[in-house]
Structure 1
Amino acid sequence: MPTRIYLVRHGATELTAEDRFAGSTDVPLSEEGRRQAAALAERLRCDTLDGIYASPMGRTLETARIIAAPHGCEVRAEPDLREIAYGHWEERTRDEIEQTFGEEYDAWQEDPLTIAPAGGESGVQVLARALPVIRRIVQGHRHRSVLIVSHKGTNRLLISSLLGFDARGYRDRLDQSPAALTILEFANDVRARLKLFNDISHYDRLPERCFEQRLSRWWSAPDKRGGDV
């Protein structure tokens, strides 16, 4: 049996609904986010989980604890699974950032892997801290299933790296909806394959669903280039 990683993004927050960059900003889940997490908890109720890990941010820990409740598992916080930090962009909308930090934002759009906002992190820096955590978790739970709750940017960077994609395109080519489930299986410590990606079928009939389309220039405005948070 391969080692199975259930990789989850936290549920929605109020800043999610307001289209604001929230990397190192610690915000709780919204009521919608709690419903999303509860739906995923019900979906995974009968799965056997050998461990549950989460970023130490409030929104990830809360999501993980909701999912962990039916299993009686303790959630272990892993600081290096936290979200990419956006520096002086934190809590601002994309429109505000484009108007205030236009040149910096354009450079970051072209190469978010190696370029960071002032006071923030690049994708390379996120991978340098997060990839060793994934490897350690896989090594510690061989041939078992583990759940990890992290963030949109961090998850997409990890998936790109683990599957050998060009991580410079992680923002344009991969999505992570709130409380989405992605499943990766590991034949050994480093060889991963994707079994399920960004699945939200557990809450696709919930009311007031958050789609998060507005932050993406690629997908919300076909005549502009860009990506989403």
Structure 2
Amino acid sequence: MPTRIYLVRHGATELTAEDRFAGSTDVPLSEQGRTQVRALAARLRCDSLDAVFASPMGRTMETARIIAESHGLEPTPEPGLREIDYGHWEGLTREQVAADFAEEYSAWQEDPLTSAPKGGESGIDVLARALPVMRRIVHDHHDRSVLVVAHKGTNRLLVSSLLGFDARGYRDRLDQSPAGLTILDFASEVRARLRLFNDISHYEGLPARELEQRLSHWWSDPCH
């Protein structure tokens, strides 16, 4: 049987709702985020999980612990899975960044794989640390099932690279909702098959969530 990775984004935070850059900012889950994660935990309660790994940020570790509890597992922190560091954009809203750092922001929008805010990371920087972690997890858990909890940008970059997509367009072409579930099966560390992507069917019955505006400027109209 293949190695199965349950790749999850953490639940929502207050900064998620405010559309602020918070890659390296350690913020907790909001109550909405905890509700989302508990719904996912209930969904995965009967699935077999052999190990749990997570970015060491508070929001990812809390997400991992909520899901792992019913499986009797304790999450292992993996620093390589942390979110993109947005440098001097951290804590600012998208509107503030676009106004105060227009040239830098425009370059990043055009090519987030190689561009980075001052003091921050590019997509390539994130892949350089996150991809070896994922390959090691797959190698060390042959034929088993593992939960990996990370972040919106990190997850999209990993999926793009593992499936052979052009990672330059990861922000335009892939979304990751809070507590969204992606499932990847691995025949080896470098051969992945996508089984499920960004599924949020466990949201059914929950209060309507606010529309996210952080895909990219190409997707500014949530109705289209």
Per the TM superposition, whether the score is higher than 0.5 is yes
CA distance in 2, matches of 1:119, 1:221: 31
Native 8 Å contact 1:54 1:76 kept in 2 = yes
Q: Which amino acid aligns with 1:157?
A: L
CA distance in 1, matches of 2:11, 2:96: 24
**Equivalence for 2:51:** 51
1:75-154 → structure 2 map (5 Å cutoff)? 75-154=75-154
3-state secondary structure, aligned to 2:27 = coil
**Equivalence for 2:3:** 3
3-state secondary structure, aligned to 2:115 = coil
RMSD over aligned CA atoms reads 1.1
CA distance in 2, matches of 1:125, 1:214: 20
**Equivalence for 2:216:** 216
**Equivalence for 2:74:** 74
Give the C-alpha shift of residue 135 in structure 1.
0.5
Moved over 2 A (4+): 213-216
- CA deviation vs aligned residue, 1:93-131 (integer Å, no higher than 9, x gap): 111001000000001111100110000000000000000
**CA 1:217 to 1:193, structure 2 compared with 1: closer, same or farther past 3 Å?**
same
TM-score where L is the length of structure 2:
0.97
TM-score where L is the length of structure 1:
0.95
Native 8 Å contact 2:52 2:74 kept in 1 = yes
Q: Any unmatched runs of 5+ in structure 2?
A: none
Native 8 Å contact 2:55 2:149 kept in 1 = yes
**CA 1:154 to 1:193, structure 2 compared with 1: closer, same or farther past 3 Å?**
same
Q: Any unmatched runs of 5+ in structure 1?
A: 223-229
**Equivalence for 1:226:** none
Native 8 Å contact 1:32 1:208 kept in 2 = no
Identity %: 77
Equivalent residues, number: 222
Give the C-alpha shift of residue 208 in structure 1.
4.2
